[in-house]
Structure 1
Amino acid sequence: MLTFADVEKARERIRDQIYLSPLPYSETISGMTGNRVFFKLDNLQITGSFKERGALNRLLTLTKDQARRGVIAASAGNHGMAVAFHSRRLNISSTIVIPVHAPLIKVGRVRLYGAQTLLHGTDYEAAFTEAQRLSQEKELTFLHAFNDPAIIAGQGTVGLELYEQNSDLDAVIVPVGGGGLIGGTALVLKALNPRIRIIGVQAESIPSMKAALERGEPVKLPPATTIADGIAVRKVGETPLALVKQYVDEIVTVSEGEVANAVLLLLEIEKTIAEGAAAVPLAALINKKLDLSNKNIALIISGGNIDVNLISRIIEKGLIQDGRLSRFSAVISDRPGNLARLAQRIADLGANILQIGQSRGFGQMAFDETEVELVLETTGPAHIERIRNELSNQGFKIRTD
């Protein structure tokens, strides 16, 4: 079983090559949640995620013969980037097997860092199986993303840094995919202060750690898509699961809309780009999934590798979740000037019309009526409610989705 001493040794190995990520206090998020909230910004690592810690520690434990032969890994992105980057620095050849639908930014970065890349399968499980086959065929050392003690020890250095930066923490909230980050972090923090609550967060569409805890062993879940692609792991590792059973207090899940809104809040308020997986701790805290009040809380922002093409969609989903985008229909009399009157009334109420469309022949309307479909930009749910009420009072028939 992994020990605290293993993490300390990992820290000594990697400390000169890994960025000591900051732990800033968030005045705004603290006020929103009634706690004192700090963000551990591991998205600021060179390759954009905490994965560098474990990958580098594992590479530094290779024998000379293993280093000469090279390494192989399966990754949806961040682990692959970390292995590729530090392998190049250490003059070790690397091969990364990546699912074909992995985010483009992550695939491109793996190639940029000099690894041989192979796109295989539709999910991590398929890439993992192919990487293991190739490791045996070509006598390469397989670097598991999370079910490897040396990898977990490296990830656990996050916990050492957290405690050094703030020893008064009451709780730490951690994204959970395969379990390496939370396993290593929980081991360290519970050794330093058993009273610290360690809370894991997963996407509700693929809660593999939660399922494993309920079953008592790793469970392979069906494939699922999620904004939090970095933690979309169908089956957790046995080693991380054992650590989670022993040291983690609670695992909760969050929805896609909640994750999108958290990404948006980090961008707007903290000026921090976080990928979906990294935003799940904030999603859990903001949406009151946790019984925490007036506590010192650290949220691990585990990565910032997000496709630019995806950002706009996530922002839109976040705005909808936050109540700042609203879609509804208004049935009006099909006479000249009525559409203009509707638009003017919406403008008078302080909303911005982003999209507008008309439908005459569909729906249950009188022959002299038309349905106007609207997408509005508002200040929030209360503003939306006020607009709908005012329009209804003006005689417009309002229909919501």
Structure 2
Amino acid sequence: MDCKDIEQAAQRLMGNIHNVKVTSSRTFSQMSGCDLYLKCENRQKTGSFKVRGAFNKLAKLKEEGKTTEVIASSAGNHAQGVSYASSLLGMHATIVMPKSTPIAKVSATQGYGADVVLAGDCYDECYQEALKLQKEKNATFIHPFDDEDVIAGQGTIAYEICHDLPNVDMIVVPAGGGGLLAGISYYAKHINPRIKVIGVQAEGASAIVQSFHKKAYTTTDHVNTIADGIAVNQPGKLTVDLINQNVDDMVTVNDNDIASTILLLLEREKQVVEPSGAASLAAVLNGKIDCKGKRVVCVLSGGNIDVSFIHKVVEKGLVTRGRNMKFKVLMLDVPGALEHLTHLITVANANIIQIQYDRIQADLNLNETILHLAVEVRSKEHGESLIKSLRKKGYDITME
């Protein structure tokens, strides 16, 4: 692979995907101390960058006259990318997805034109089923990341960034299997070695981070993160090799940082971003990367977050940012006690969103109760002020 492959991929994609321009963010620039820009692939066709690699791979196959039948295994963005690209190119796609895949994702994949086969309880099982069907159908398997043509397609993001912002100093990229980071870092470093490329993984799925720092291909036994799009325990061998050659550093962020960043993106930028897509910005905002005074582009890699999951992420983000807090209060179980406590909370301009009595804990006196409260406040400082004022009034408070 070379830069020409990525530039040719950009030509294939022209007119077939959205031209998502790099945009500046005054809010995040002020928060991070750098000149921060966003590459919003959450607004891309199919809601993810994955369509780039899938389309480039399939378009090249069609140019070479090699196949009209393709197959892939995926529970998410790759499935929709392959389905959309195959429909556009007049090819037939079969996507094997785990049985546990949410109906919304299955419907979206079918809506782009692919046949969906549900098989297995996890990705590895549906991957094995895909390989079996590949032989039966004499189809071409489209790997989600460990393929040069797929990597070249993802690398078109760097091609666009360098055209939109020629003086970019740093590009921050989420990484799971590594296709996106491998493609972006390859093009950016070969076009302008001065550009720093930083990869970001979730703490609970850090195989590429470990591979980078050990300078050797490494896998993990399990993954545990809300960022399902980058929850990969076996990254690509080709991608890891390219990353080790071209990336300047790899860092991790925790789930709390990711959830808080999703909430910030909703509030400040009106952008719906999935957990994996928010990892890059989370790294910058939480000081994982030294980017002060630099022109930095964070790639928001996707926006396909389940509606049923958004409220959990928002809840987590509110807690992380100190907007929601939980505590328990030991108090007398007498008339007027609850009214007095809630009045103090009201005076402090806090809002009670959940309350629960506990009268049966073993070490309670007969005239005592424990009150568990969830309270909405403006900030961590506001919450600390509330707790301080309640303690001054004699309440025995324990944070939960």
Same-fold status (TM-score > 0.5): yes
What corresponds to 2:97 in structure 1? 98
Q: Is the 8 A contact 1:208 1:219 kept in 2?
A: yes
What corresponds to 2:356 in structure 1? 357
Q: Is the 8 A contact 1:105 1:306 kept in 2?
A: no
1: CA distance between counterparts of 2:156 and 2:183?
8
2: CA distance between counterparts of 1:213 and 1:123?
27
**1:188 maps onto 2:181 in alignment:** no
Give the CA deviation at 1:333.
1.6
Q: Once structures 1 and 2 are overlaid, which stretch shifts more, 104-113 or 52-61?
A: 104-113
Q: Aligned partner of 1:179: which letter? A: G
1: CA distance between counterparts of 2:345 and 2:361?
24
Residues 329-348 of structure 1 aligned to structure 2 (within 5 Å): 329-348=328-347
For the residue of structure 1 that corresponds to 2:61, the secondary structure is: coil
Q: Aligned partner of 1:264: which letter? A: L
What corresponds to 1:51 in structure 2? 50
Q: Is the 8 A contact 1:252 1:289 kept in 2?
A: yes
**1:272 maps onto 2:268 in alignment:** no
What corresponds to 1:211 in structure 2? 210
What corresponds to 1:319 in structure 2? 318
1: CA distance between counterparts of 2:253 and 2:174?
11
Q: Aligned partner of 1:252: which letter? A: V
Q: Is the 8 A contact 2:262 2:317 kept in 1?
A: yes
Q: Identify if the C-alpha distance between structure 1 residues 122 and 219 changes in structure 2 by more than 3 Å, giving closer, same or farther.
A: farther
1: CA distance between counterparts of 2:66 and 2:100?
30
User: Any idea what the Cα deviations from partners look like across 1:333-382, whole Å, max 9, x if unmatched?
Assistant: 22211110000000100100001111122154333221111000001111
What corresponds to 1:21 in structure 2? 20
Give the CA deviation at 1:191.
1.5
For the residue of structure 1 that corresponds to 2:309, the secondary structure is: helix
User: Any idea what the Cα deviations from partners look like across 1:76-118, whole Å, max 9, x if unmatched?
Assistant: 2111101101111211110111123334432221111111111
What corresponds to 1:146 in structure 2? 145
**1:66 maps onto 2:50 in alignment:** no
What corresponds to 1:117 in structure 2? 116
For the residue of structure 1 that corresponds to 2:188, the secondary structure is: helix
Q: Aligned partner of 1:375: which letter? A: A
1: CA distance between counterparts of 2:250 and 2:201?
7
What corresponds to 2:250 in structure 1? 251
Number of equivalences: 399
**1:227 maps onto 2:200 in alignment:** no
Q: Is the 8 A contact 2:223 2:232 kept in 1?
A: no
Give the unaligned 5+ runs of structure 1.
none
Give the CA deviation at 1:225.
4.0
For the residue of structure 2 that corresponds to 1:130, the secondary structure is: helix
Q: Is the 8 A contact 1:103 1:306 kept in 2?
A: no
Give the CA deviation at 1:214.
4.2
**1:368 maps onto 2:364 in alignment:** no
2: CA distance between counterparts of 1:213 and 1:269?
33
2: CA distance between counterparts of 1:39 and 1:100?
35
For the residue of structure 2 that corresponds to 1:76, the secondary structure is: coil
Q: Once structures 1 and 2 are overlaid, which stretch shifts more, 338-347 or 115-124?
A: 115-124
Q: Is the 8 A contact 1:77 1:103 kept in 2?
A: no
Q: Aligned partner of 1:288: which letter? A: G
Q: Is the 8 A contact 2:185 2:243 kept in 1?
A: yes
**1:163 maps onto 2:162 in alignment:** yes
2: CA distance between counterparts of 1:147 and 1:388?
52
Q: Is the 8 A contact 1:43 1:49 kept in 2?
A: yes
Q: Is the 8 A contact 1:169 1:298 kept in 2?
A: yes
Q: Aligned partner of 2:260: which letter? A: N
Q: Is the 8 A contact 1:325 1:375 kept in 2?
A: yes
Instruction: Give 4+ residue runs of structure 1 displaced > 6 Å after superposition.
Output: none
Give the CA deviation at 1:16.
2.3
Q: Aligned partner of 1:183: which letter? A: A
Give the CA deviation at 1:15.
1.4
Q: Is the 8 A contact 2:212 2:250 kept in 1?
A: no
Q: Aligned partner of 2:142: which letter? A: L
2: CA distance between counterparts of 1:101 and 1:255?
25
What corresponds to 2:239 in structure 1? 240
Give the CA deviation at 1:38.
0.6
For the residue of structure 1 that corresponds to 2:197, the secondary structure is: strand
1: CA distance between counterparts of 2:14 and 2:238?
24
User: Any idea what the Cα deviations from partners look like across 1:248-281, whole Å, max 9, x if unmatched?
Assistant: 0111111111111111111111000111110001
Q: Is the 8 A contact 1:105 1:305 kept in 2?
A: no
TM-score by length of 1: 0.96
